[in-house]
Chains A and B, each alone.
Chain A
Amino acid sequence: MIDMENLLEINGLTVELMTERGIVYALSGVDLNVAHGQIHGVVGESGCGKSMTAKSIMRLHNPKRSRMGGTILFEGEDIAAMEIKEVERLRGKDISMIFQDPAMSLNPLMSVGNQIAEMARVHLKSSKAEARQIALGMLEKVGLSPAINRYRQYPFELSGGMQQRVMIAIAIACSPKLLIADEPTTALDATIQAQILELIQSLSDEMGMSVLFITHNFGIVAEICSAVSVMYQGRVVETGYTRSVLDNPAHPYTAALIASIPTMALESQKRLGSIPGRPDTLYENLSYCPFCARCPQAFGQCRNERPGYQYLEDGHRAACFGIGG
């Protein structure tokens, strides 16, 4: 992955949260690149920092209760260093975001068509009539047809799957360069999830839009992401092209996670691989490998130093001392 190819380059991103119990080191040096037009998966167990990373890109943290470090280059400009006014210009226009629960983000009192149109009014300064046309086009594009009828509906009249389509329509109304999707299908049934995944993939293809796709499901990564970053305790521990990471996981954590997935290829009633223990909330900045307590391969160095990246082929890299040794 050469620099020129990247729409988004996150380097050494740290987020510290001030909580009642002390400082939580939520992100401790996230490195992550998203190429133009790429669907890039971010996977990891709950609490590993996926949403934190997404919120950092949108600068959604409360500055009074958090501290952010590192750089977030979007088209070469550092979002982390921007005035909040500048960031607001990017939000919804160049970068937009969808979440797990569309009902929480939709306005219950406004027709879905008007909610889409409003994006065009605010960010593209469209006239009322233009905005309406854009909204109708978007409804059609996300498969809510006939658009003219859907335009007038309110969120409560729509199923969860259709609400997520509306969220997507709002998110893409201004043709963003980057869509951040934070577990957008986690609450949906399998057959509806398949529809939404297909929609996001075809929109990305059609519009050349990059997608940062956050999920805890490796299967989804395999289906729609060309590259993937695996997070563990506030850090990307492995990244690379999806097939490369899935077929030859280099980090013991990635390998263990993959082994614990029940897959259709697996024989019935065989024991699944599992990882003993669980990650703890980080109240200190670790000076050793965050996975060492659970790692079957851990050795002396792992407990004394923080591993840097080891590079494999094709941009595939992993933060583990055991690689190549």
Chain B
Amino acid sequence: MNLSGSVIEGTNLQKRYHIPSRKLAEKGKELVAVDSVTIKIGRSRIFGVVGESGCGKTTLGRLLTKMEPTSDGTIVFNGRDITRLSGKDLIALRSQMQMVFQNPYGSFNPKQRIGSALAEVAKVHKIPKEIAPDKIAALLSEVGMPIDALGRVPSELSGGQLQRLAIARSLLLGPEFIVADEPVSALDVSVQAQILNLIMDLRESHAIAMLFISHEMPVVKAVCDEVAVMYLGSFVEKAPTQELFANIAHPYTQALMSAVPSIDSDIAKERIILEGDIPSAIGLGPGCPFAPRCRHGMERCRLEKPQLRDMGAGHLVACHLH
């Protein structure tokens, strides 16, 4: 264990994709999916990344778990630089990093019984035969599933039940870092609440560092210790959860907040409706990525990209207004 206590650390991460575009205007340009992102997640901490589709959330998760090579930047896992890790070492690392996805039906083989799927994971990663069944049983009870679920195939289970099992499977190898990519987005609200509660419990009991990806502000607020708001590849605001929602500073975060349909009648909220579509991350100009949609957009915003600045209390904002 390293001294700073962080399990995973990404510094100045960048991911560029070359696009074989047919559109002339885009020819030869690059798509910057993740741009200079610095992130640090400690043990038993849930770090939330929120933003609209295409902003780079999944790519960031894939970079940190080494599913995808970085174009730039470094990744440190438990004090060890893993940026260039490959081959056997990388495979060994897989057991310590896990992902949970939005669609649990897509992450299980539809023909395979759950029990056999879990046993397979245990076998591949050399969990001794004598202890694997006990371990699986304990995890099942922890995620609130009856043992007879092991005899089922995915189609016999509901989305919520299968997501519990996906979480159990991700915990089987005792990982230290989990990326949960929109784990509740496909679930009904009452089931969503069950899974969010489960995630909060497991974070404590398994001392896991988690990257929690979502496009929904209230969901992120509900479970995360720290939150970053992402826009076109960059973190535009980042702060401990309480601090962020008490003092939202970035115009994009404000707009995103205002767009959340809310059941609370007593919150007199300002309606900010952003115009136009979410722009693509192809061939971004030199200025603030949000400038074309920002209601404050100033001359400077179009010329110079604002850097994340610490406003105190660990609250970072990338905006020329601050």
Contact = CB atoms under 8 A, between A and B. Distances in A.
A274 interface: yes
Contacts of A197: 261
B263 A218 contact: yes
Interface in A216-232: 216-223
Interface in B252-268: 255-265, 267
Interface residues of B, number: 44
A262 B196 contact: yes
Contacts of B197: 271-272, 274
B224 interface: yes
B272 to A, nearest CB: 9
A243 to B, nearest CB: 6
Given A161-B277, A264-B218, A264-B264, A193 B259 contact: yes
B119 to A, nearest CB: 27
Given A191-B278, A192-B278, A265-B267, A260 B190 contact: yes
Contacts of B188: 45-46, 216
B223 A219 contact: no
Interface in A247-273: 247, 256-258, 260-266, 268-273
A104 interface: no
Contacts of B100: none
Given A191-B274, A246-B265, A264 B189 contact: no
B45 to A, nearest CB: 11
Most buried by B among A193, A217, A268, A273: A268
A95 B261 CA distance: 27
Contact of A272 (B196, B256, B258): B196
A190 B265 contact: no
Interface string A15-54: 0000000000000000000000000000001100000000
B67 interface: no
Nearest to A219: B261
Contacts of B233: none
A159 interface: yes
Most buried by A among B190, B219, B242, B245: B190
Most buried by A among B216, B242, B258, B262: B262
Interface string B151-186: 000000010100000000000000000000000000
B278 A190 contact: no
Interface in A199-253: 216-223, 243, 246-247
Contacts of A86: none
Contacts of A218: 189, 263
Given A161-B277, A246-B265, A219 B224 contact: no
B189 A247 contact: no
A146 B275 CA distance: 15
Contacts of B196: 262, 272
B192 interface: yes
B284 interface: no
B273 to A, nearest CB: 5
B29 interface: no
B218 A190 contact: no
A193 B217 CA distance: 14
B222 interface: yes
Interface string A261-299: 111111011111111001000000000000000000000
Interface in A139-197: 159, 161-162, 189-195, 197
Contacts of A257: 189-190
A226 to B, nearest CB: 13
Contacts of A221: 263
A207 B259 CA distance: 25
A273 B257 contact: no
Contacts of A192: 277-278
Contact of B193 (A162, A222, A260, A265): A260
Nearest to B160: A278
A267 B120 CA distance: 40
17 contacts: A45-B188, A189-B52, A189-B53, A195-B273, A220-B261, A223-B261, A246-B265, A256-B190, A257-B190, A260-B189, A260-B190, A262-B196, A263-B218, A263-B263, A269-B241, A270-B222, A271-B197
Interface of B: 52-53, 158, 160, 188-194, 196-197, 200, 215-219, 221-225, 241-242, 245, 255-265, 267, 273-275, 277-278
Given A193-B261, A260-B189, 19 more contacts: A189-B278, A190-B256, A191-B278, A218-B263, A222-B263, A246-B263, A260-B193, A264-B264, A265-B267, A268-B241, A269-B200, A269-B222, A270-B222, A271-B197, A272-B196, A273-B193, A274-B190, A274-B197, A278-B191
